[in-house]
Structures are given as structure tokens and as C-alpha cells.
Structure 1
Amino acid sequence: MDDYLNDMALFVEVVKANGFRHAAEAVGIPNSTLSRRISALEKSIGLRLLHRTTRKIELTEAGQLYFERCKRIVDEARLAHEQLGDMLAQPSGTLRVSLPVDFAVTYLAPLIVEFADMYPGISFDFDLTPRRVDLVSEPYDVAIRIGESGSSQLIARTLASLTPYLYASPRYLERAGEPGKPADLERHECLAILKAGTWTLHDGKRTATVPVRGRIALNSVGMIRRLASLDMGIVLLPQQVVADDLASGLLRPVLPSWHGSATPIYAITETRLLPAKTQRFIEFLQARLAR
């Protein structure tokens, strides 16, 4: 409410409490402040609303008419505020989201199911193509991006950072041997994204940059994960992406004290003024991905 509407609400409280002291206690402001606010209200509308005595207050004739009007306006404003709160709590409409293909399939899918259960009024339109959608000219509410925050003209909100670790199948390690230090990776089949020539690894104190080679290089995290589970080599991926394969025993950690550099995940929007459906989706992902 604006200041004028707030003063109207205070006037209603004073009348309902039949005095300033009880009204001041109800609204949580000093008695003297409340009295000044009502005096200022009378001055602003040019009407005397109350007869004040040391023990009680009485409405003037104008005050009675004004009280009835104020009570109706304040009640309507409070109802509208409550309805707005309900709308924000249960947003609706179609949420249009651009998602990285592999990350969506391997990790976000269960989270999307959970979010959909929380907000049954929202329907979804997902774009899982590799292209970067144009949030200015295309009707998308938000784009989830990994590793880069996009144009400086867009609004980027950090959701989380994913740290990659080394994994391989037990059968591959049985056949090729288990590396004991980062330099040993040079002798192994390493499944790399986009023909990466090196992996930079950290153990909290040291950093090692290791040349990696392999017969296969591709641009699909899902395919690399699958090939690793089929005994084709060592991968450097976030634990969240390979969680199912770890649980089933298809993959296991390699050099567990070493890890790659963290990769940030962003929610990109065109504006900071977001509808409730988009705001809730971003907040949900921030909470879940931070776990």
C-alpha cells in the first residue's frame, strides 16, 4: 500500500480500537507517531475526523462517513493483496525454457518432475536443441546455460557450480590398469569433450595439466558417459551426471583426490522483472543444484 492507503488503514484501526493506545499496540508503532499520522491525514483531506478527549475518541459526522469509505477500501486492498500472494504461491501458465540437451536428460529431468508436482498450474515448453536461443526475439522465459553467462545485455543468475571428477568402468581399469597419478592418464584412453587436448586437475594443493588422448572425441556428455560405462575409457564429468552409473557399479572413481575446474551453471533471462512461474523455477533450481 502507498502512504495514503497506509494512513487510511491506521485510521480504521484507531476507530476499531476506540483509541490510540490499543491501536498503536496492534499495529506496532508508538502512540505519538500514530496520533501524528492521523492528524496529518485530517490535514491532508481538510476534514476533522475525530473528537479527542483524554479518555476516548469520537467520530465526527464526516469521520463516520470517511471511516465507512476507508474500511471498504482497506478491506478490498487487503483481499487483493492476499489474492496476489495466492497467485505467487501457486503460479500458472506455460513456462518456456531452453536447456542444454545432455544436462537436461541426465540430471535435470528428475528435478523437473519434482517442480511440476509442486506447481500443477504450470505447463512446460522445453527446447533441448544445441542452439543458443535468442531470449530477446524468441518467446522463452529462461535459458539454462553451462560454462558461460551469455550476452552482457541479459541477466545471468548463478544456479550452482559443478566440479568434474575422473571415472571409468571396472572392466576398463582391469584391462588398462589403474592410474596412480595424473601423469599416468597420458597412457590411457580419455574420452574428451570437443577434442580437448589437456585436462587440468587439482587436489587442493597442487595443479596438474595432463595431455590426454583417445580414439573418440565428441560433443555429447550423454554419449561420453555411455561409452565410459561400456569400457571405452576414462571420463572427466560432474558426479551429478554419472550418479546412476556409480550407484549401479557401471562406473567408479579414478584418482578420487583429484578433480577438474568447477563449471558454473546460469539461468539467463532478458529482464529482472520475472513472472511468478519463472521466478519459482529459478529459485527451485538454485536450491536443488546447491545441495
Structure 2
Amino acid sequence: MGNVDLNDIRLFVAVVQAGSFSKAADLANIPKSRLSRRISRLEAGLGTALMDRSRRGVLLNEVGEQFYLRAQQMMQAAEAAVNGVQGRLDTPGGLLRISVSTEVGRGFLMLHLAEYMRRYPDVVLEVEINNKKVNMIQDGIDISLRLSLPEDGNVVARKLTDIELGLFAAESYLQRAGCPESPHELHGHTLLNKYDGPEWRFVCRQHCVHIQGSCKLSSNDANLLGQMVSDGIGIALLPCFDNMLRSGGWVRLLPQWRVDTVPLYLVYYKNRGSTPNVASMVDFLLEKSGRR
């Protein structure tokens, strides 16, 4: 093998399959003279002629026929090896790390994870649920789901949906404290506030009301506030996720007053968007959000 270039074997197979040097040169996009020299070099390295050249094309001798069969098998095996590696690179598999806030994790992501795992069984998920600001590189995060646009210019932020917000309380609280008929009446109620959430700004027709009343409880976790609503502690402005509403038995207050929605973004680094794991999750969540 020391005197034989594997690329020359590939060209030899191409000449035999094309039936002539001229056609093989055109298909390989190289000059016919260069192709002829490469085949001559192969024969010199093997120490024997493989074919007879004529105006009608090429005619393999007995040694050439045997060599062609083995060379063709070798090329097929090499192609299968390359395709196997490429297929592996194109198939999602291995570790995928996701960071998500608590309310989005409970109200959105966990509703779809089982389907993703069944669709991509070779992917191993590591989901970090917290409300802290993450550094995706330092924390080794592939995808982050967040409620605000990132300031990093090296990331891609794909909008998944607008999260609707609503004002909620439990029936036990309303029986005790009464049901507010307008945003102005909220000042006399026990309010539960998400301190890193949006302002309490209500709009109905041409009227806009800001509420900045004192709160009985503040937290960065909507799930905690939701539990306090379920326990009849007070009124909270919370995401209108179906599973949260069903589990809490909440009553929606002032439905005629609109509250600004909160956009949910899927964030990943630009140089990671084409990797199979990241691409599969991005496409999957966009599909579930109706963005595809």
C-alpha cells in the first residue's frame, strides 16, 4: 500500500464505471491527461497493468477485473462508513441541558417533555429549573427558556408565545374579603406580587389603571404565589397556564380588564443552533407553540 494512493483507486473505479477516460474526466471534473497519469501511477505502484486503452474505451485485463471487484467493495465500504458517521451526527443523541424558570417549567415545558423524549430516545435531558439569571456558557446550558430578551449579541432568541396573565383568587378568599369590581378596589385587598414580573397595569377600552398597592407577600416564584392563592391568602397576577388553573381551583377576577402579555423566548447560542440536539428541541418547542 506504500506505493499506492487510495485516491487513485477511486479514480480507477470511476474510469471503469464511466467506460472511458473522457467521460470519467468530465464526471470527476479533472483534465483527461491528469486522469490518465493517475491511473498509470496506480499501475506502476501495483507493478502491473490493469487495463488496455483503446478508442472504444477501456478494457480490463484479468488482473484488472479482480482488482476492480475488490476496489469497488472498498469504495462501498468507505462510503458506508462515511454515511454512518454523518448519520450519527445528524441524529439527536447525548446530553442536552435546558434552563427554565419555575413557572415556565411547570406551566409549559413539562407538558411536552414526555413527547420529546419518546420522539428522540437517544437524547439525555438535564433540566435546570430556577429563576436566576443564567450564564449559558459558564453554566454549560444549551437552551434557555426565559421571559425577557437576552442582551448577549451572540445568542439567538426565538419567540415561542405570549403568555397571558390574569388576576386570580380562591373562592375562600373572596367569600371572606369580597370580590373586587374594578382595579381601584384592589387597594383594599391582600395582594401577592411577583417582584420580578410585570407591573399591575389594567386596560379596559380607553381606561388604564396602574396598581401600586402594598403587598402581603412578594416572591420571584409564581408557583409559590399560586399556592398562596390556592390557600386563600390573597390575590395574585399570574400566568394563565391551564394546568395551574385546574390544580388551584382559582377564580379569575376582572376578566374584562386586559393585562399586558409576557413574551416567552427560546434562547441558544448561534454556533449551537445547527447541532442535532439543539435543533431538535428548538423545532419541537416551536411546533408545540404553533410557530412552525
The interval holding the TM-score normalised by the smaller chain is 0.5 to 0.7
Verify: 1:173 aligned to 2:174, yes or no.
yes
Cα offset, 1:73, TM superposition: 4.3
Distance 1:244 1:102, change over 3 A: closer
CA–CA distance in structure 2, aligned partners of residues 143 and 39 of structure 1? 46
> Equivalent residue of 2:113, what SS?
helix
Partners of 2:230 and 2:248 within 8 A in 1: no
Aligned amino acid, residue 246 of structure 2? A
Cα offset, 1:193, TM superposition: 0.9
Segments of 5+ residues of structure 1 without an aligned counterpart are: 1-7, 19-33
Distance 1:197 1:117, change over 3 A: closer
- Give the equivalent residue in structure 2 for 1:84: 86
CA–CA distance in structure 2, aligned partners of residues 282 and 174 of structure 1? 45
- Give the equivalent residue in structure 2 for 1:125: 126
Aligned amino acid, residue 250 of structure 2? L
Cα offset, 1:37, TM superposition: 5.6
> Equivalent residue of 1:133, what SS?
coil
CA–CA distance in structure 2, aligned partners of residues 201 and 250 of structure 1? 23
Cα offset, 1:199, TM superposition: 1.1
- Give the equivalent residue in structure 2 for 1:24: none
CA–CA distance in structure 2, aligned partners of residues 40 and 153 of structure 1? 40
Distance 1:129 1:182, change over 3 A: closer
CA–CA distance in structure 2, aligned partners of residues 114 and 224 of structure 1? 29
CA–CA distance in structure 1, aligned partners of residues 132 and 262 of structure 2? 23
Larger CA deviation: 114-123 vs 179-188: 179-188
Partners of 1:150 and 1:268 within 8 A in 2: no
CA–CA distance in structure 2, aligned partners of residues 114 and 264 of structure 1? 20
Distance 1:215 1:265, change over 3 A: same
RMSD value over aligned CA atoms? Answer: 4.3
- Give the equivalent residue in structure 1 for 2:239: 238
Aligned amino acid, residue 279 of structure 2? Q
Cα offset, 1:221, TM superposition: 0.7
Partners of 1:106 and 1:222 within 8 A in 2: no
CA–CA distance in structure 1, aligned partners of residues 29 and 226 of structure 2? 70
Distance 1:71 1:187, change over 3 A: farther
Cα offset, 1:70, TM superposition: 7.8
CA–CA distance in structure 2, aligned partners of residues 193 and 185 of structure 1? 16
- Give the equivalent residue in structure 2 for 1:261: 261
Verify: 1:154 aligned to 2:166, yes or no.
no
- Give the equivalent residue in structure 2 for 1:134: 135
CA–CA distance in structure 1, aligned partners of residues 137 and 156 of structure 2? 11
Offset from partner CA, 1:63-117 (integer Å, 9 cap, x none): x99999689647744763466346534x221222222234324442232233223
Larger CA deviation: 211-220 vs 244-253: 244-253
Larger CA deviation: 221-230 vs 128-137: 128-137
Distance 1:38 1:245, change over 3 A: closer
CA–CA distance in structure 2, aligned partners of residues 196 and 97 of structure 1? 22
CA–CA distance in structure 1, aligned partners of residues 101 and 69 of structure 2? 58
Partners of 1:135 and 1:270 within 8 A in 2: no
CA–CA distance in structure 1, aligned partners of residues 123 and 216 of structure 2? 45
Verify: 1:289 aligned to 2:292, yes or no.
no
- Give the equivalent residue in structure 1 for 2:208: 208
- Give the equivalent residue in structure 2 for 1:22: none
Cα offset, 1:224, TM superposition: 0.6
Verify: 1:199 aligned to 2:200, yes or no.
yes
TM-score w.r.t. structure 2 length?
Answer: 0.67
Cα offset, 1:174, TM superposition: 3.2
Aligned amino acid, residue 287 of structure 2? A
CA–CA distance in structure 2, aligned partners of residues 197 and 274 of structure 1? 34
Identity across matched positions, percent:
19
Cα offset, 1:209, TM superposition: 3.1
> Equivalent residue of 1:97, what SS?
strand
Higher alpha-carbon Rg: 2
- Give the equivalent residue in structure 1 for 2:224: 223
